Amino acid sequence: KLKRKDYIIANNYRLILLLLILGKALKLLVAERIVYLVEEYNLFLKIYFSI
């Protein structure tokens, strides 16, 4: 844990931690985009779901 108290300043974090956070955010954005496109173009077949 860092000794610095200000958690808002990015310089208080190690670079690897910032990369992990950015990776998670990018993963979420890509997943949301894929879901949107699949729903928009009806790529899910209803046979796969009990609808």
Domain for residue 3, yes or no? no
Give the 3-state secondary structure of residue 43.
coil
Interior angle at CA 33, CA 28 and CA 38, nearest 5: 130
Q: Which domain holds residue 19?
A: 10-48
Q: What's the CA gap between 43 and 4, in Å, rounded?
A: 49
pLDDT digits (tens, 9 = 90+) for 5-23: 777 777 777 888 889 999 9
Q: What's the CA gap between 50 and 18, in Å, rounded?
A: 41
Domain for residue 34, yes or no? yes
Domains in the chain: how many in total? 1
Average pLDDT for the chain: 83
| 12 in Cβ contact with 6 (< 8 Å) | yes
Predicted pLDDT at 43: 85
Domain for residue 2, yes or no? no
Predicted pLDDT at 48: 72
Does the pLDDT of residue 36 top 90, yes or no? yes
Count CA atoms within 13 Å of residue 10 on its CB side: 6
Predicted pLDDT at 16: 86
Confidence of residue 51 (pLDDT cuts 50, 70, 90): low
